[in-house]
Amino acid sequence: MDPGLRGQFSRLGVVRGLNRLPPGPPAAFILRLVPGQPDIRRVDGMLALARRGMAMLAAKRAIEELAESGHVRIRIPAVGDQGLLRHDLAAAGIAAWPT
């Protein structure tokens, strides 16, 4: 690696690990934008999905589709507590309903 790049990357610090939640049953959800919310917090939404077993790229694509169309249907591999999932997503400006 180029010494210049190595120096730049070392200044970025340690990448934060993803704390996955305890496993739970899979479930399908419909995600919608919260009415009146000016914008969604995309990273928070992606992390909420990834912590429940969704691949980061799949979570990113789901949030992008949600932002573009206003709704998306997804399957989450390990939901666990649905109330906690809905709370985490609501904090990101996303409403979730099980299907």
Question: Where exactly are the structural domains of the chain?
Answer: 24-98
Query: What's the topology of domain 24-98?
Result: Ribosomal Protein L30; Chain: A, (3.30.1390)
Angle at alpha carbon of residue 28, lines to 74 and 41, rounded to 5°: 45
Q: What is the pLDDT of residue 15?
A: 42
Total Cβ atoms within 10 A of residue 49? 27
Q: What is the pLDDT of residue 96?
A: 96
* Tens of each residue's pLDDT in the chain, 99 residues: 455 655 655 554 444 567 787 778 999 999 999 888 778 999 999 999 999 999 999 999 999 999 999 999 999 999 989 999 999 999 999 999 999
DSSP line for 30-75: EEEEPTT-S---HHHHHHHHHTTT--HHHHHHHHHHHHHHSEEEEE
Whose CA is closest to 31, among 56, 1, 68? Answer: 68
